[in-house]
Structure 1
Amino acid sequence: MTAIANGHSGLDVSGLRIDGGRLWDSLMRLARIGATDKGGVCRLALTDLDGQGRDLVREWALELGCEVRVDAIGNLFMRRAGTRDDLPAVMAGSHIDTQPTGGKFDGNYGVLAGIEVLRTLRDHGIRTEAPVEVVAWTNEEGSRFVPVMMGSGVFAGAFTLEHALAQRDREGVSVAEALARIGYAGHQPDDPVRVRAYFEAHIEQGPVLEAHDTVIGAVQGALGQRWYDVTIQGQEAHAGPTPMEMRRDALLAAARLIESVNAIALRHAPHGRGTVGWIDNFPNSRNVIPGRVRLTVDLRAADDPVLDAMDRALAQACSALEDGGGLSVSLEPVVYFPPQAFDPELVGLVDEFAGRLSYSVMPVVSGAGHDAVYLARVAPTAMIFVPCKDGISHNEVEDARPDHLEAGCNVLLQAMLRVAGVGAIEGDAA
């Protein structure tokens, strides 16, 4: 990706800064929609509350004179025209749907940081050469509908629009029905949206930046993920009469597998991850030896060779449980996200402008999935991380410092300006 040179030689934008107080106020105002008693936010995708959040963000974009459009999966695009509107857009975004016990910043920061960039350009009369867009992607969290990262996934062609619209929540409501109900069932554009570069500002959702007392994370890429459903079949039996050496205890086997998952991840440090996050024990009775256990396994790594090695190690661990134990183990792969590197030039801009703005910066890898992972399949992409308190996210106590959020948005502003170019200032001929 070749960055667009600054198109207005008489304007030095290096001193341009966003209004951190205004960004914070916007975040707090959006957080009132779906606010929880514990200080978090519950604004599930395509609920009435999500519709109210979208309406607010859309209102802010219209106040800035943006062209606002909604595609068929409900992605909300807010476009500020450039002096060369034929050029592909420089885009920033994230999502505003939350977890059931979510926080104020996950996703929301990326969208509102983009809005704050647009406000700053308006305040200073700056027209970029390339158009600048902010996007709020639909159903990133996947709390109500699966798959996760739905809107960006459809945009990038990871799955079809028809498949996404047909998905249903636990009450049987489809995505298509929910979009129509809140007034965000849009239309596919005649011409595909062209993206020159995509930036996503986000809280880290982990403890690394805070532990290193660092303000900006220049995200190198996102870990690949493999998810599995595991069923271990043994035999229920009475806890009293059955001797220990004659048991076919499925829960004991599950405990050994959980230890193996942990060990596999530790063997592939520093970016290996292994988690058993859900378990179902049958019959789950105090005095019955468990006869069947179902559980999930989540493996993550920074590159495919390591992820493949972890996959083989997990298969071997499952086979070992069957050997001589009178058990059967079913290992079913259910999700694969390949590791995704971000664009080196854009990542370099994040690093460069963090340094120019005198913010501490370090390279990091995202352990979580983000809309940027799908955007990286179709456009040069980078992420900007800022710390969150104690590394906690997907939690009502999720928190971030206003000065850190301001710093990340300043880096976003400068990086977007570098790529979009400065075409004119107010009063100049476009």
Structure 2
Amino acid sequence: MDQLKISRKRLLETIAVSAAIGATANGGLHRLALTEEDRKMREQFITWLKEANLEVRIDDFGNIYGRREGRNADGPAIALGSHLDTQPCGGKYDGVLGVLAALEVVRVLNDNQIETELPIEIINFTNEEGARFTPPMLASGGLANEFTKDYIYSRKDENGITFKEALENIGFLGEEKNRIRHVKHFIELHIEQGPILEKENKTIGIVKGIQGNNWVTVKVIGQTNHAGPTPMEHRKDALVPAAKMIIKINELTKEIDGLKTTVGKVYVKPNVTNVIPGEVEFSVDIRHEDNELRMYALERMKEQLSTIALLHDVEMDMTTDWHSDTVEFSPAVIQSIKNAADKLNYSSMELFSGPGHDAKYMASIAETGMIFIPSINGISHNEEELSLDSDIEKGANVLLQVVLDLAKALSKKQIGA
């Protein structure tokens, strides 16, 4: 079979249509899960799926599937996809690329009348970002039984709207029988969202797995008092030790190689200019590819924060809100991605993913792998997010070759054409 290539022009035009739905003034996207913007994008996506002669269905989590049958109609599917929802004022490639490149792969198969032994399914997962409903990756987690349906349906946004209500509001509450069940492989193409590929001058990232992570809430309780008459030595200012804790959390990354820590949210009470803060609450995101080292880091952090609290005569409470262990991807899929990159003469390297992705949960129900392409300056979840057209084309070509391999593509000669 001659080496097939995707249509760069068609793929970029498809991405451009997506980029206009929920577009921001600064060139990004604001398309939160199950909003009106998401509804418009979903309807456009379904139009494309139908134009590609795919069988469309929607499950009870709002996941959208487009199925292309294979010769073995009862065989396990090769699933491809990602998500079309974005962060507030996010980029136009994160998630979107994986869904629309999968669509382009199917279009190429159709153009060339290529039949595959196994069926192919494209998936758009609901609420991967977790920007509207937390935690992230709710719908793929539901497929993997990481979250119960009741738990997912009960998640509320900041306006008190539940996940189920939002699905109903935009007309995308499907049926449980439509969930993907019989799947052999899952492959997700994604921008790296980090600087490693660009720094190493590599075109393709062969993802070995996804780092484990914990979300922790730290609460520091001191004593609220008037800023004027209260002497410094009599204060129980919760903000001062909290600030020292945040610095210590950052310094912990120098102690444990490969550790990543982020304090993303800080709440100060009562948050008044002339009142000594009596309570501070902040979030910590902590990640490492080694589960044991990550848990050690959590214990070390708790020890250090407790010491700071004791020295400042304040109380400190630390609770884990969410955690997810490291996931390692399928060696067979990793090898297929490597073979594809080598076949196309694209430079590549193996790496772990720092962010979580739907592939994390799909790995529990299918042999899974991910393909990364470079992100300029490592920027993502930002309107300035950018991946070069040439890298998008190459990533999609690798995805195409992996699908031809894993779905067992048949030449016209093999199928008697």
TM-score relative to the length of structure 1: 0.93
Match of 1:104 in 2: 92
Match of 1:228 in 2: 216
Deviates more, 1:351-360 or 1:200-209: 351-360
Deviates more, 1:319-328 or 1:27-36: 319-328
The 8 Å contact of residues 60 and 179 in structure 2, kept in 1 or not, is answered as no
Q: In structure 2, what residue type is equivalent to 1:60?
A: W
Q: In structure 1, what residue type is equivalent to 2:54?
A: C
Match of 1:247 in 2: 235
Match of 2:389 in 1: 402
TM-superposed deviation, 1:240: 4.7
TM-superposed deviation, 1:396: 1.3
Q: Which secondary structure state, in structure 1, belongs to the residue aligned with residue 132 of structure 2?
A: coil
The 8 Å contact of residues 74 and 186 in structure 1, kept in 2 or not, is answered as yes
TM-superposed deviation, 1:221: 0.9
Q: Quick check: 1:352 aligned with 2:339?
A: yes
TM-superposed deviation, 1:343: 1.1
Deviations 1:179-236 (A, max 9, x none): 2222211111178521110000001111111112211111111111111111111123
The 8 Å contact of residues 59 and 178 in structure 2, kept in 1 or not, is answered as no
Query: What is the 5 A alignment of 1:248-327?
Result: 248-270=236-258, 272-327=259-314
Match of 1:4 in 2: none
State which of 47, 72, 80 in structure 1 corresponds to 2:60: 72
The 8 Å contact of residues 59 and 176 in structure 2, kept in 1 or not, is answered as yes
The 8 Å contact of residues 129 and 422 in structure 1, kept in 2 or not, is answered as yes
TM-superposed deviation, 1:247: 2.8
State which of 361, 365, 368 in structure 1 corresponds to 2:352: 365
TM-superposed deviation, 1:289: 2.9
Give the distance between the partners of 1:288 and 1:161, measured in 2 at CA.
44
The 8 Å contact of residues 83 and 423 in structure 1, kept in 2 or not, is answered as no
Match of 2:402 in 1: 415
TM-superposed deviation, 1:120: 0.6
TM-superposed deviation, 1:119: 0.5
Match of 2:207 in 1: 219
Query: What is the 5 A alignment of 1:76-155?
Result: 76-155=64-143
Task: Give the root-mean-square deviation of aligned CA atoms.
Answer: 1.7
For structure 2, the residue ranges without an aligned partner over 5 or more in a row are: none
Q: Which secondary structure state, in structure 2, belongs to the residue aligned with residue 425 of structure 1?
A: coil
Query: What is the 5 A alignment of 1:134-213?
Result: 134-189=122-177, 193-213=181-201
Q: Which secondary structure state, in structure 1, belongs to the residue aligned with residue 318 of structure 2?
A: strand
Give the distance between the partners of 1:191 and 1:290, measured in 2 at CA.
49
Match of 1:47 in 2: 35
Give the distance between the partners of 1:75 and 1:428, measured in 2 at CA.
33
Q: Which secondary structure state, in structure 1, belongs to the residue aligned with residue 46 of structure 2?
A: helix
State which of 359, 367, 372 in structure 2 corresponds to 1:385: 372
Q: In structure 1, what residue type is equivalent to 2:130?
A: G
Deviations 1:149-200 (A, max 9, x none): 1111111111112221222222222222222222211111178521110000
Identity of counterpart residues, as a percentage?
41
The 8 Å contact of residues 216 and 362 in structure 1, kept in 2 or not, is answered as yes
The 8 Å contact of residues 84 and 95 in structure 2, kept in 1 or not, is answered as yes
TM-superposed deviation, 1:259: 1.4
Give the distance between the partners of 1:117 and 1:17, measured in 2 at CA.
9
Q: In structure 2, what residue type is equivalent to 1:196?
A: K
Give the distance between the partners of 1:286 and 1:422, measured in 2 at CA.
67
Give the distance between the partners of 1:173 and 1:322, measured in 2 at CA.
38
Deviations 1:301-354 (A, max 9, x none): 101111111111111012202324321001111110111111122112212211
Give the distance between the partners of 1:201 and 1:287, measured in 2 at CA.
51
Deviates more, 1:184-193 or 1:104-113: 184-193
TM-superposed deviation, 1:395: 1.0
Give the distance between the partners of 2:119 and 2:412, measured in 1 at CA.
14
Q: Which secondary structure state, in structure 1, belongs to the residue aligned with residue 372 of structure 2?
A: strand
State which of 35, 45, 66 in structure 2 corresponds to 1:57: 45
Deviates more, 1:185-194 or 1:388-397: 185-194
Deviations 1:40-99 (A, max 9, x none): 111111112211111111111111111111111110010100011111000110000111
Deviates more, 1:350-359 or 1:87-96: 350-359
Deviates more, 1:378-387 or 1:347-356: 347-356
Q: In structure 2, what residue type is equivalent to 1:138?
A: T
Give the distance between the partners of 1:195 and 1:206, measured in 2 at CA.
30
TM-superposed deviation, 1:290: 2.2
Give the distance between the partners of 1:232 and 1:393, measured in 2 at CA.
31
TM-score relative to the length of structure 2: 0.96
Number of positions where the alignment pairs a residue of Structure 1 with one of Structure 2: 417
TM-superposed deviation, 1:427: 9.7
Q: In structure 2, what residue type is equivalent to 1:317?
A: Q
The 8 Å contact of residues 92 and 385 in structure 2, kept in 1 or not, is answered as yes
Q: Which secondary structure state, in structure 2, belongs to the residue aligned with residue 362 of structure 1?
A: strand
Give the distance between the partners of 1:191 and 1:168, measured in 2 at CA.
23
State which of 19, 44, 66 in structure 2 corresponds to 1:31: 19
For structure 1, the residue ranges without an aligned partner over 5 or more in a row are: 1-11
The 8 Å contact of residues 89 and 133 in structure 1, kept in 2 or not, is answered as yes
The 8 Å contact of residues 241 and 309 in structure 2, kept in 1 or not, is answered as no
The 8 Å contact of residues 63 and 124 in structure 2, kept in 1 or not, is answered as yes
